[in-house]
Amino acid sequence: MSQMVAWLAEQGVTTLVCGAVSRPLQERLSAVGIKVVPFVAGDLRQVIQASFDGSLNGSAFTMPGCCGRRRGRRGAARGRCRAKRDLI
C-alpha cells in the first residue's frame, strides 16, 4: 500500500476519484496531500466531465447501495456517504 501511495504522489496525482477505498488507504493518501473522492460510480467519461465541472457530488454518481439506496440505509454506509460530501 505504501508503494502505491508513493507512486501516485510521485506522478503528481492531486485527486483520486474511486469507487471504494479502505479507510487506511484513504488516510495515507490524504497524508501525502492527495484528495480522495470515494464511492463514485458511472461512465468514465461522464465522471471525468463531472469532476471538471464540479457536479461529481450529485447522486447520479453515487455508488449503488450508498446513502440509503438499496442496502446502504444503516450503519457505516451512511457515514461513508457523509464522508464523501465532506471531501468534495
Q: Counting beta carbons within 10 angstroms of the beta carbon of residue 29, is it exposed (0 to 12), middle (13 to 18) or buried (19 or more)?
A: buried
> From CA 20, how far away is CA 10, in angstroms rounded?
22
Instruction: Look up the CATH number of the domain holding residue 56.
Output: 3.30.420
Domain containing residue 72 = 2-87
For residues 11 and 68, which has the higher predicted lDDT (pLDDT)? 11
* 2-50 tens-digit pLDDT: 999 999 999 999 999 988 889 999 999 999 999 999 889 889 999 999 9
- DSSP 8-class letter at 63: P
- Written as nine digits, the cell of 19 is 469507487
* pLDDT (mean) for 50-70: 74
Structurally, how many domains does the chain consist of? 1
